[in-house]
Amino acid sequence: MNQGSFWIRVASAGTAFGLLAAIAALAVDGYANPVASRDGIAATLRVGTFDSRAVAVAFTASKMFREELEQWEKERREAEARGDVAALERIEARAKQRQKLAHHQGFGTASVEEILRRVGGRLPEIADKAGVDMIVSKWAITYRSSDVEVVDVTDLLVEPFEPNQRTRRVIEQLREKSPIPHATIELQH
């Protein structure tokens, strides 16, 4: 694995730590902006950003997520058949926690790191296709220099979840709106 792909994966998690680690690595390795390109000509750092809400919506509408829910339902039925009240309570708590997280991810700016891990092997390919040096959640960027080129890679990141047309429309509508603040989402639970 080359060093660049490692930092793409670290930064792709969408966390502020991932972004800071990637930037620090670039600076330490002598790649601070402007970046020296392979042909020796100064190049701009290209950062792929994504709307984490779109990734969350694509995932929750995906076959991957349906299979996860089916597994949970199977576990619930088995626990119920055994009369295992403790297991049923754990499954119920896990389902409630997942629902709460889905709301924060789909309507707010919560990290989708655990979702992206499911398609982590595709991140270098997505970065290459977009021509970016790293991928971070757009919500993780507090400041960026005008020398940094930002490229929206949201559409590329949702593709591994194979969204249908309905899901694509929902994502498009969602991206036209501002995220709901964390406190507001909490009030709904």
Stronger pLDDT, 57 or 9, i.e. the higher one: 57
Mean pLDDT of the chain: 83
Residue 34 has pLDDT above 80, yes or no: no
CA-based R_g, the chain, Å: 19
Nearest to 52 by CA among 184, 188, 180, 186: 180
pLDDT digits (tens, 9 = 90+) for 56-93: 999 999 999 999 999 999 999 999 999 999 999 999 99
Its domain, for residue 161, covers 3-187
Residue 185 has a pLDDT of 82
Residue 54 has a pLDDT of 98
In this prediction, residues 110-136 reach a mean pLDDT of 95
Residue 183 has a pLDDT of 81
What is d(CA 132, CA 35) in angstroms, rounded to the nearest whole number?
Answer: 12
Task: DSSP for the chain, please give it.
Answer: --HHHHHHHHHHT--HHHHHHHHHHHHHTT-PSSEEPTTSSEE--EEEEE-HHHHHHHHHTSHHHHHHHHHHHHHHHHHHHHT-HHHHHHHHHHHHHHHHHHHHHHHS----HHHHGGGGGGHHHHHHHHT-SEEEEGGG-S---TTSEEEE-HHHHHGGG---HHHHHHHHHHHTSPPPPHHHHHHT-
Residue 22 has a pLDDT of 45
Residue 167 has a pLDDT of 97
Residue 41 has a pLDDT of 57
Structural domain total, the chain: 1
Task: Report the predicted TM-score, pTM, of the whole model to 2 decimal places.
Answer: 0.74
